[in-house]
Structure 1
Amino acid sequence: MDRPSPENLILVNRDQNGVALVTINRPGSLNSLTRSTMVELAQAFKRLDRDESVRVIIIAGSGRAFCSGVDLTAAEEVFKGDLKDPESDTILQMDRCSKPIIGAVKGFAATAGFEIALACDILVAAKGSVFMDTHARLGIFPSWGLSQKLPRIIGVNRALEVSLTATHLTAEEAELLGLVNHVVEDGDVLKKSREIAEAILRNNWDLVLKYKAIIKDGIKLDLATGLSLEKERAIDYYDGMTKEQFRKMREFIAGRGSKIQSKL
């Protein structure tokens, strides 16, 4: 476990399998974000991305919520504070992270908490959890990507309704819309998140990183340009493979074929 901050705002636990659990730890305020919390969370992701022993990151909230957004008692400090620095930008550091990020959502993921959820690669949510955008209600201009990411995931019209009315999406609705990957019982959120992490860890690690990168980079482009980018990176990848790597690939495929045949 990392040395906690003086206030234990962000907890980081690493296991021996290469999974790191990041926990926002302000349960008394439903894990709302102060400036210090945001900076520490950004730095945690930066450190974990550089840590070669870590391969998958899970982010969760302590207590009854994932993250209820910015702590409005410190709103001016947060919004007018010196958070233009990329090193202190939580979402930018999550977006820069090369490793798979799984969001384990229980309770509220509201406004800035919603944006943290949108920065995850895979989302697991407890039944009864809700996603809510209150920017329009509170007079807060979005700056962590909600206005751009949500329409691309659930569609423009539905995103407009969610954001302009400040009504919530239940975990079940979010799953139907493709925002959430799995909805599980409250006590199974971390268990399911770890199962997904373990499934990722069983695969070729170099290709896991490259696959995440091509999906994330390609989705920003039109289809034709994205296909060209995939082809370009595939050529570079295969040109860089050694004869030994190709031999191991053939052996793996042959072994997988034998297993399939035995089941027929």
Structure 2
Amino acid sequence: MDRSSPENLILVTCQPDGIALVTINRPKSLNSLTKSMMTDLAKAFKSLDADDSVLVIILSGSGRSFCSGVDLTSAEDVFKGDVKDMESDPVAQMERCRKPIIGAIGGFAVTAGFEIALACDVLVASKGAKFMDTHARFGIFPSWGLSQKLSRIIGPNRAREVSLAAMPLTAEQAERLGFVNHLVEECELLKKAREIAAAIIKNNQDLVLRYKSVINDGLKLDLGHALTLEKERAHEYYNGMTKEQFKKMQEFIAGRGSKKPPPSKL
């Protein structure tokens, strides 16, 4: 099912297997974002989050760029608006989205594009991809989380260099630093993203949503409070299970245990 924006700058396709594809589709401008595109992207994630048929979302860009940031030819229109308006904020809607989001990063992920990439739960990047923060170069104050998230992933000293010197990171560096999960050839980008999505879909979907939530919510806390949060949610989860659900769990575990392991090749 197609839910694309009227100008087809944000393409949304829902597939029967539970995967939704969201594509930033302005390749002639390296997928730079206008105000209306930002709003449409936010609406897309909000809509997909509410759709029970959607289990995993894959986000990509068309052409040779993932997203080159905000279209600076309309900078005043973008930045003079209310940056605290969550309804038109794509990163806020991605962070609110309960479904796993896989970013398929090909080409450039620059500034706002970098921030959108960091809002994904899993990142797959092509070998030619580059991540760059140009906020300081162009006098743009970050408002989608780059100043806070990157330092927590790669460490404050390295993050300061990346942001203050506008130092690009290659996909290989991003993988070594830990915010890219998989590095693939460009032609394999969406295939790898789909493989990860399929692996997620095979699991218990209620627990997938709960697990994503407890990981992301716990990251906002110190370790002690995060562990308490995990205990509280585990208690809530098990208290809400019926005898029938416990029986199904036991039957599933017993069934897995009875399967013979494949013969060793050694």
Partner of 1:155: 155
Q: Distance in 1 between matches of 2:186 and 2:262?
A: 39
Given the alignment of the two structures, is residue 6 of structure 1 paired with residue 6 of structure 2, yes or no?
A: yes
Partner of 1:187: 187
CA distance 1:237–1:30, change in 2 (3 Å): same
| Structure 1 unmatched ranges of 5 or more | none
Given the alignment of the two structures, is residue 170 of structure 1 paired with residue 191 of structure 2, yes or no?
A: no
Q: Distance in 1 between matches of 2:103 and 2:261?
A: 37
Give the alignment's TM-score, normalised by structure 2: 0.96
Secondary structure of the residue that 1:245 maps to in structure 2?
A: helix
CA-to-aligned-CA distance 1:67-113 (integer Å, 9 cap, x gap): 00011111111101245321111110000000000000000000000
| Two-structure CA RMSD over aligned residues (Å) | 1.2
CA-to-aligned-CA distance 1:115-166 (integer Å, 9 cap, x gap): 0000000000000100000001111000000000000111111111100110
Q: Distance in 2 between matches of 1:93 and 1:111?
A: 18
Over 4 Å off, 4+ runs: 260-264
Given the alignment of the two structures, is residue 100 of structure 1 paired with residue 100 of structure 2, yes or no?
A: yes
Q: Distance in 2 between matches of 1:190 and 1:138?
A: 32
Q: CA contact under 8 A between 2:46 and 2:97: conserved in structure 1?
A: yes
Q: Distance in 2 between matches of 1:35 and 1:6?
A: 14
Given the alignment of the two structures, is residue 20 of structure 1 paired with residue 26 of structure 2, yes or no?
A: no
Given the alignment of the two structures, is residue 70 of structure 1 paired with residue 81 of structure 2, yes or no?
A: no
39-48 or 3-12: bigger deviation: 3-12
Given the alignment of the two structures, is residue 250 of structure 1 paired with residue 261 of structure 2, yes or no?
A: no
Q: Distance in 2 between matches of 1:5 and 1:227?
A: 41
CA-to-aligned-CA distance 1:204-227 (integer Å, 9 cap, x gap): 000000000000001110111111
CA distance 1:14–1:247, change in 2 (3 Å): same
Q: Distance in 2 between matches of 1:170 and 1:83?
A: 29
One-letter amino acid matched to 2:238: Y
Partner of 1:52: 52
User: How high is the sequence identity, in percent, across the aligned residues?
Assistant: 72
CA-to-aligned-CA distance 1:175-220 (integer Å, 9 cap, x gap): 0110100000001110000000000000000000000000000111
- Report how far residue 260 of structure 1 moved: 5.2
Secondary structure of the residue that 2:65 maps to in structure 1?
A: coil
Equivalences for 1:138-153 in 2 at 5 Å? 138-153=138-153
- Report how far residue 261 of structure 1 moved: 5.3
Q: Distance in 1 between matches of 2:216 and 2:12?
A: 25
Q: Distance in 2 between matches of 1:86 and 1:234?
A: 30
105-114 or 79-88: bigger deviation: 79-88
Given the alignment of the two structures, is residue 31 of structure 1 paired with residue 9 of structure 2, yes or no?
A: no
Give the alignment's TM-score, normalised by structure 1: 0.97
Partner of 1:86: 86
| Structure 2 unmatched ranges of 5 or more | none
Q: CA contact under 8 A between 2:4 and 2:13: conserved in structure 1?
A: no
Q: CA contact under 8 A between 2:83 and 2:143: conserved in structure 1?
A: no
Q: Distance in 2 between matches of 1:256 and 1:101?
A: 28
- Report how far residue 2 of structure 1 moved: 2.8
Secondary structure of the residue that 1:4 maps to in structure 2?
A: coil
Secondary structure of the residue that 1:251 maps to in structure 2?
A: helix
Q: CA contact under 8 A between 2:100 and 2:212: conserved in structure 1?
A: yes
Given the alignment of the two structures, is residue 42 of structure 1 paired with residue 61 of structure 2, yes or no?
A: no
- Report how far residue 232 of structure 1 moved: 0.7
CA distance 1:115–1:106, change in 2 (3 Å): same
Q: CA contact under 8 A between 2:60 and 2:66: conserved in structure 1?
A: yes
